[in-house]
Amino acid sequence: MTSLKNTVATGVIAGAVALTALPAVAAEKWDMPMAYSGSNFHSVTGAEFAQCVTTGTGGEIEITTHPGGSLFAGADIKRAIQTGQVPIGERLLSGHQNESAIFGWDSVPFLVSSFDEHDKLYEAAKPAVEEVLAEQNLTLLYSVPWPPQGLYFRDEVNSVADMEGLKFRAYNNATSRMAELTGMLPVTIEAAEISQAFATGVADSMISSGATGYDRKVWESLNYFYEVDAWLPRNYIMVNSDTWAGVSDANKNVINACARMAEYAGTWRAKEYTGFTMAGLAAGGMSVGRASDQLMDELKAVGETMSAEWLEAAGDAGQAILDAYNAE
Ligand code: PCA
């Protein structure tokens, strides 16, 4: 017994000596709230980014993701980062178009409809977005698009008249405005809550990607998905600028490298996931296909109105984005 005690005591002392002998680098733990389900490709990409940073910084910065709105609900994540409640997080910035119309550049209907066009528009918009973020104490690390947005309904819809009076789940200003302009009733609901909203009749329809419908198994309540490719909104991974200023140059390099890889991997997944999830919706029992010509024409007219409204709100900075896009 005595010898065991001695061994343990010696071990403890040796451990204490070893600890004090280590350089005084305290591991920083960064909690990273994310709004979408853990299985969603944005969340998977975020978890890989977190692991990359943790490994790459030798554990000096350890990031833990919290998907599904479990730490902060989507709408609260940006403020939590700005105010330093968390150092880092992911948010769909078009959800904050009321703060700056610039954040809505990615939700202007039918301005772009493919990933390639969207990428080009993002390059044009990015400097203006980063400028607004900087004013809000936020630094952009990386950003990943959602697949093209299509319309989900309980019943068949072939025209805007068929949409009249439906309860339409909205996730940002553009989606609410689209509901208003098509005679529907917008109700803002986080993606994490939509399965229940459709099951209980709080909403009958939405515009979103095949990915979100698939993640939330909406075929349990809804029956039609119409590909309209209205726009491709983006999620942004942002860090509090004060926190960022305190990161060593070496760790900034690691984080930026991890961010570039995450943006690449996330974008690739968004593209791959588009076809996969639409097939998944059909396998779940939904009717999946292009919207009728009449519905498309009528939606394009709504899009014209919304484009004009966005440009009016975004002013010269908005026009500069469009000019840069068209000049390329
Ligand atoms: N899914 C998210 C935003 C865009 C998308 O495709 C959502 O529906 O909340």
Instruction: Return the pLDDT at 181.
Output: 98
Instruction: Return the pLDDT at 25.
Output: 62
CB 171 near ligand 1, within 6 Å: yes
Ligand 1 atom closest to the Cα of residue 208 is 6
Q: Is residue 236 within 8 Å of 106, Cβ to Cβ?
A: no
Q: Residue with structure tokens 């002998």? A: 21
Which one-letter DSSP state was computed for residue 155? S
Q: Which amino acid is at 45?
A: T
| Tens place of pLDDT per residue across the chain (328 aa) | 444 444 444 444 444 444 544 555 679 999 999 999 999 999 999 999 999 999 999 999 999 999 999 999 999 999 999 999 999 999 999 999 999 999 999 999 999 989 999 999 999 999 999 999 999 999 999 999 999 999 999 999 999 999 999 999 999 999 999 999 999 999 999 999 999 999 999 999 999 999 999 999 999 999 999 999 999 999 999 999 999 999 999 999 999 999 999 999 999 999 999 999 999 999 999 999 999 999 999 999 999 999 999 999 999 999 999 999 999 7
CB 210 near ligand 1, within 6 Å: no
Dist. CA 203–CA 195, nearest whole Å:
10
> What spacing in Å lies between the alpha carbon of 120 and ligand 1's midpoint?
21
Q: Is residue 170 within 8 Å of 179, Cβ to Cβ?
A: yes
The pair phi, psi for residue 156, each rounded to 5°, is: -65, 140
CA-nearest residue for atom 3, ligand 1, is 208
Torsion of CA 142, 278, 220, 155, to 10 degrees: 110
Q: Is residue 235 within 8 Å of 92, Cβ to Cβ?
A: yes
Ligand 1 atom closest to the Cα of residue 35 is 9
Instruction: Return the pLDDT at 11.
Output: 45
* Distances in whole angstroms, Cα of residue 302 to Cα of each of 24, 154, 245, 324: 60, 22, 44, 24
**Domains, the chain:** 2-146+234-278 (3.40.190.170), 150-230+286-327 (3.40.190.170)
CB 209 near ligand 1, within 6 Å: yes
Torsion of CA 10, 16, 20, 24, to 10 degrees: 150
Query: Mapping DSSP to helix (H, G, I), strand (E, B) and coil, where does residue 104 land?
Result: helix
CB 92 near ligand 1, within 6 Å: yes
Q: Is residue 239 within 8 Å of 88, Cβ to Cβ?
A: yes
CA-nearest residue for atom 6, ligand 1, is 209
Ligand 1 atom closest to the Cα of residue 146 is 6
Q: Is residue 291 within 8 Å of 160, Cβ to Cβ?
A: no
